[in-house]
Amino acid sequence: MKTLLLSCALSLIACGAQAQGYRFTETVRLPATPVKNQASTGTCWCFATTSFMESELLRMGKGTYDLSEMFIVRQKYINQLQDNYLRQGQGNISQGSLSHTYKHAFCQVGVVPEEVYTGINYNSDRHNHGELTKYLRAIADVAVKQRQRSPEYYKLIDNLFDTYLGKLPERFTYQGKEYTPQTFAASLGLDMDDYVELTSFTHHPYYRKCDVEVPDNWEHELMYNLPLDEMMETIDHALANGYTVCWDGDVSEKGFSFKNGVAINPEVTKVEDYSTTDRARFEKMDANERLEEVYKFEHPYPEVRVTPEVRQQGFESFVTTDDHLMHITGLANDQNGTRYYITKNSWGTDRNAFGGYLNMSDSFVRAKTIYIMVHKDAIPQDIKQKLGL
């Protein structure tokens, strides 16, 4: 049934995008679990990484799992409170984070199935952390001002999470077997040391680890820095060899259209790259008018040739920002032969006509990726050697 759901979702990408003038042909399609909805939370980091881990379990032949995001999110909040207190209130206790946060929490407390811990203990059918995080901030601020964390502080924190997310399960039964969160995590056979984060920026040395300067990297995790072409080669190699990719990047610009099921990086200054019909019309427009035409998403247009310098300029001018994590599960080509990355989002299935998926163009991914996470074995051998993996 879940395989059927996946096929339907991916078929919707092709059919829906064709209606907008994009005609996609899939070249790689890897197994993934059904699309979920992070709803009114900033927990895309956990939804994307959980989806990635669920695909890893499918790849490993472990079967289909629906893992609890909020069990991991709860531990992440606790870790942030610790970090914020020791930084005298200058830490990051927002809802955002990155993939390595999942790994750290998994190793600390394990994981449980969604049916054991939904993380919704309030009158809602969807996640909403707006009120929870306001109380969290208030409790954190008091501890910092008092320069101590009293026994009551810890009770308040536990009670806050129990109230909104539910009490943590010490033991539970799943498919006829009894587990603790730690023994269940061990039963999955996932080794968090197998997963690495890769980035590409020119202000850090290549083939070495670096601290990527984005607010959600509050743990200051080090990532391997690759030349842009080798980061893209790694994504393609992973997908071609059965490994999905956890993706983090910028979704704040008009070229990212979840509604239309595409993310593009259009080139509007080089009129000569357009078809004869478009060229005549575009020559009469200014840049803003051309963009408005492109963002009707009626058919593909030429896109920016992204070099390391172009990518770096976007990052250093704060145009390319750390906005959102998603899960890349395949490859497709449009009618012009442009490569796109089939991407599973965590905004539910009712916000676009494509089953909650979208296709990100090669130019968009080159320009807007902050980092990716992959299994070490998904990296081409020569690149692994350069990284010392």
The 10s digit of each residue's pLDDT in 175-209 is: 999 999 999 999 999 999 999 999 999 999 999 99
- Give the helix/strand (H/E) hosting 249: strand 245-249
CB 17 within 8 A of CB 359: yes
The 10s digit of each residue's pLDDT in 254-288 is: 999 999 999 999 987 776 666 776 777 777 888 78
> Which one, of 73, 56, 150, 62, lies nearest residue 111 by Cα?
73
CB 306 within 8 A of CB 367: yes
CB 68 within 8 A of CB 117: yes
What three-state secondary structure class fits 128? strand
Q: Pairing relation of β-strands 222-225 and 195-199?
A: parallel
Per-residue pLDDT, averaged over 215-236, amounts to 97
> What average pLDDT does the chain have?
92
Using CB atoms within 10 A of its CB, is residue 280 exposed (0-12), middle (13-18) or buried (19+)? exposed
Query: In this structure, what DSSP letter does residue 167 have?
Result: P
The 10s digit of each residue's pLDDT in 36-50 is: 999 999 999 999 999
Virtual CA dihedral for 133, 72, 259, 124, nearest 10 degrees?
-60
Domain locations in the chain as residue ranges: 2-265+303-387
Residue 7: per-residue pLDDT: 43
CA distance readout (Å), 58 to 47, 65, 96, 166, 242: 17, 8, 27, 29, 10
Residue 19: per-residue pLDDT: 39
Using CB atoms within 10 A of its CB, is residue 214 exposed (0-12), middle (13-18) or buried (19+)? middle
- Which alpha helices (DSSP H) does the chain contain, by range? 2-19, 44-59, 69-86, 99-109, 130-146, 151-165, 181-188, 228-240, 276-282, 287-294, 308-316, 362-368, 381-387
CA distance readout (Å), 278 to 273, 335, 348: 10, 17, 35
Q: Class for domain 2-265+303-387, per CATH?
A: alpha beta
Per-residue pLDDT, averaged over 299-312, amounts to 94
Q: Is the confidence at residue 2, as pLDDT, over 70?
A: no
Residue 100 token pair: 């390595």
Q: Pairing relation of β-strands 256-257 and 262-263?
A: antiparallel
The 10s digit of each residue's pLDDT in 135-165 is: 999 999 999 999 999 999 999 999 999 999 9
**Exposure string over 191-207, b if 16+ CB within 10 A, otherwise e:** eeeebbbbbbbbebebe
Q: Helices 99-109 and 69-86 meet at what angle, rounded to 10?
A: 100
The 10s digit of each residue's pLDDT in 21-35 is: 899 999 999 999 999
Q: What angle do CA 99, 104, 109 make, to 5 degrees?
A: 125
Distance CA(64)–CA(3), nearest Å, equals 10
